[in-house]
Homo-oligomer: A and B are copies of this chain.
């Protein structure tokens, strides 16, 4: 079985195990989720106490729910939370009461078209209770005779905490990048179980490759409040993070897409575009808007960390979004693998990118005596005369030419790939060869000089 087929099966298994857990801003569902994801990569969990002020926000009480239902007067359960977490408005308070349909109606959320399933609704910061139901359930409740029996067994614990997960990988250089995903959406597969699993596997892949060039942190947080709290608890470190990704909605059946960072041509953007280009994929391109996911937090004026997302059915863009139809029929391991592959490439490019400087600045290097140039010259560029070997040799020479020409300490590997149209991996191989020959040196981007421009 191929590695990719194995990975697909593995992801499918995690989708099954994780889908039904009741994730929210806080609570046991989140801890269970992180525990299972820890099987993939060593997630360290942190507990942030409830009521902590985090910038403009306060961490809410920890919410627990044990059961919830609506019965008609005959005792039949018309709505049962045990069958789908989405039936309850997130953070609903406890209730145990007989009510008329009229009393209940304002607390019912449903789509007028039954084919859209159950909507996803929350009320984190206003004490409230409510149910989300299908259109058929709504009709049943409306036509039920007599009072309806409404029951929610939940509570709030102000001594509880909000759980976040973190994997920090120290690299050769201190300069740090971020991969963040969010943990708070229950029983929806693309938004955002796909992101959780993808992030865990990305962390594992990086750990398996050995020490990375740069430092990375993989972060699993409840959306918004979790990211804000994470920024607050890691303020100093986060103020110097150079860029990153917010992993969300990357497992649908639709086309691959890319939401740019707020800078639009940041290193992270250049890496993502190159990753797609090297795979001959033209992704859907989403311009930056502040509406979205945790780029709202990471890229906020106080932090301005540029973050991009690689998507497969981006939030807002698919009809199943925030409904019970965003389920395991919509998402599968094979689809997640497609995004994962591009993410892995993009992260590698970000990580392994560096500036290059020639050790032979004056005139070109003599490649011939280093075995890098054909012994008999004259045929280069004479394309009609080339057989296959010569094609390869010419491509190799072309790439060596670009690397050495751009190697003035101001150009990075991505620039070479962009200008030469060679793949990033080919550029890396070429750079390795030239390093071996002591023809170039690598320099960290922080030491970039600003001299002659090669556009």
Contacts and interface: CB of A to CB of B under 8 A. Distances in A.
Contact of A122 (B120, B126, B376): B376
Given A111-B385, A296-B401, A385-B111, A123 B377 contact: yes
Nearest to A227: B363
A105 to B, nearest CB: 14
A375 B319 contact: no
Contact of A304 (B109, B296, B452): B452
Interface stretch (A16-24, A161-169, A365-373): A365-373
Nearest to A321: B382
Contacts of A111: 385
A120 B378 CA distance: 6
Interface in A124-140: 124-126, 128, 130
Given A120-B378, A231-B363, A361-B300, A290 B56 contact: no
A360 interface: yes
Contact of A291 (B89, B376, B401): B401
Contacts of A125: 366, 368-369
A368 B407 contact: no
A149 interface: no
Interface in A205-237: 224, 227-228, 231-232, 235
A104 interface: no
A75 interface: no
A379 interface: yes
Contacts of A357: 301
A455 interface: yes
A1 interface: no
A144 interface: no
A52 to B, nearest CB: 13
Contacts of A363: 54-57, 227-228, 231-232, 296-297, 300, 302-303
A303 B362 contact: yes
A227 B362 CA distance: 11
Contacts of A455: 262-265
A405 interface: yes
Interface string A283-305: 00000011100001101111110
19 contacts: A55-B360, A89-B376, A116-B385, A121-B379, A123-B376, A124-B377, A125-B368, A128-B375, A232-B362, A232-B363, A290-B404, A291-B397, A300-B363, A301-B358, A301-B405, A303-B362, A303-B363, A304-B451, A322-B378
